[in-house]
């Protein structure tokens, strides 16, 4: 597991002034990776590191010799730590690299960002017991939480081709639905369009087919984390999901934030993994002393909504909910990797593991409108008087995330947003 070192020193400051502003998502203690190009250009995307409100072009600075982010992600843990140390030393105040590297900086406002790497495969998990229970009550009132939930990290294989970058619009999906009082299904646009507040855990080094990754080594295969919104068509989902699970209700669009925050950057925000009293402990292949002691991460997550009416009136987005992963996640990222590979499945650099909707125990901590509106029965009243049960055309939904604790510098995950179009 990653440990604290000189790159996490809260006293470090950067010669990039914006990185030292209180509340900045990207101080020198963070150093997340992403891919960028000049806005409006057709250039190939290059690898950059966010620092304050700037992007450091790693190739232009002579730090890497590739534009392929997946190559960097396939590096060993030691190589990744060495790269982080070099970036930290070069970007901190007093660095001898300031004159040279300042020529490789460009403003984030002047670039186009895309998905952080080439995503080969995508698996979505179901790690919040609170979300699973609340939604289960709506779909299966007599049996909301299936008996395997507390033993097996539940997941399904999604569609990588429809994962889009933050800021992109997407079309409202169409499909089959069936009203409870209808004899036959009908076809048309989704009427119960929802978001899902998730994290996206990205694989670094992969494993050979047939060679499971042990829980003790699982985090060596995780590169980092992004914000992730797995848009969901709840009415299509309710009709199609039995017996094989989600299909067209989930694969029309999923939005990912552009900055990939490394596991090394998250080291100050580790937390103990604890099961509630009376719950079963994980089977041995999902259990280890390190995972119990510090396998979880404390990440605060927020959901914000801006309707088209609010946008035209110049009104800021309103917060719908907020939670923390220590309250929301029933399984750790390391457990997801161990379980995913225990049957011999081979993961590859750039593969994405979605956390599933992260809902905390409180009513204000729900990670979807399906929960916040009680399946559409209790509309949410927004500050301007508008009501929402599910998303309407023109709505922009934004997820934000950050880590903070006493004695450490706050780091952010940035944000991921998307707008629904008819």
Cα–Cα dist 289/214, whole Å: 13
Cα–Cα dist 232/135, whole Å: 13
Q: Give the three-class secondary structure for 298.
A: coil
Helix/strand/coil (H, E, C) string of 239-283? HHCCCCCCCCCCCCCEEECCCEEECCCCHHHEECCCCCCCCCCCC
| Residue 212, both tokens | 């499971």
Is residue 131 part of the annotated active site? The answer reads yes
| Residue 24, both tokens | 């900045």
Q: Give the three-class secondary structure for 60.
A: coil
Cα–Cα dist 236/84, whole Å: 44
Cα–Cα dist 314/310, whole Å: 6
CA dihedral 252→231→52→13, nearest 10 degrees, is -120
The secondary element (H helix, E strand) that includes residue 89 is helix 77-91
Beta partners for 300? 324, 402
Are residues 105 and 23 in contact, defined by beta-carbon separation less than 8 angstroms? no
Cβ-Cβ contacts under 8 Å for 183 (sequence gap 6 or more): none
Cα–Cα dist 202/224, whole Å: 5
Are residues 192 and 390 in contact, defined by beta-carbon separation less than 8 angstroms? yes
Q: Which of 374, 408, 409, 367 is nearest to 388 (CA)?
A: 374
Cα–Cα dist 258/404, whole Å: 20
Catalytic residue among 8, 130, 131, 339: 131
Active site positions, annotated: 131
């Amino acid at each position: 597991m990653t440990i604290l070192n000189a790159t996490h020193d809260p006293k470090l400051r950067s010669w990039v002034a914006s990185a030292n502003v209180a509340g900045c998502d990207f101080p020198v203690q963070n150093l997340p990776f992403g891919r960028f190009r000049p806005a409006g250009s057709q250039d190939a995307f290059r690898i950059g590191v966010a620092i304050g409100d700037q992007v450091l072009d790693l190739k232009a600075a002579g730090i890497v010799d590739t534009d392929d982010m997946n190559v960097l992600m396939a590096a060993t843990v030691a190589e990744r730590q060495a790269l982080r140390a070099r970036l930290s030393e070069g970007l901190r105040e007093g660095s001898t690299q300031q004159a040279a590297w300042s020529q490789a900086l460009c403003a984030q406002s002047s670039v186009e960002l895309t998905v952080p790497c080439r995503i080969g495969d995508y698996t979505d998990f179901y790690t919040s017991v609170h979300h699973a229970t609340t939604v289960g009550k709506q779909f299966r009132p007599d049996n909301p939480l299936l008996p395997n939930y507390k033993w097996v990290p539940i997941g399904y294989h999604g569609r990588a081709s429809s994962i889009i970058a933050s800021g992109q619009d997407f079309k409202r999906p169409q499909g089959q639905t069936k009203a409870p009082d209808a004899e036959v299904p009908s076809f048309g646009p989704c009427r119960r369009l929802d978001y899902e507040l998730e994290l996206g855990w990205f694989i670094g080094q992969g494993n050979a087919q047939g060679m499971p990754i042990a829980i003790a080594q699982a985090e060596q295969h995780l590169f980092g984390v992004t914000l992730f919104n797995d848009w969901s068509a709840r009415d299509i989902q309710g009709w199609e999901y039995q017996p094989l699970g989600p299909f067209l209700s989930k694969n029309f669009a999923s939005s990912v934030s552009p900055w990939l925050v490394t596991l090394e950057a998250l080291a100050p925000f580790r937390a103990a993994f604890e099961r509630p009293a009376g719950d079963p402990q994980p089977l041995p292949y999902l259990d280890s002393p390190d995972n119990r002691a510090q396998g979880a991460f404390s990440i605060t997550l927020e959901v914000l909504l801006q309707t088209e009416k609010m946008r035209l009136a110049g009104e800021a987005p309103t917060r719908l909910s907020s939670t923390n992963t220590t309250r929301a996640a029933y399984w750790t990222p390391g457990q997801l990797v161990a379980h995913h590979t225990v049957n011999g499945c081979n993961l590859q650099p750039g593969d994405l593991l979605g956390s599933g909707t992260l809902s905390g125990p409180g009513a204000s901590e729900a990670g979807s409108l399906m929960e916040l509106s009680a399946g559409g029965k209790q509309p949410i009243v927004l500050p301007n008087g508008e009501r929402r049960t599910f998303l309407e055309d023109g709505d922009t939904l934004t997820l934000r995330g950050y880590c903070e604790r006493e004695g450490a510098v706050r780091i952010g995950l940035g944000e991921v947003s998307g707008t629904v179009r008819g």
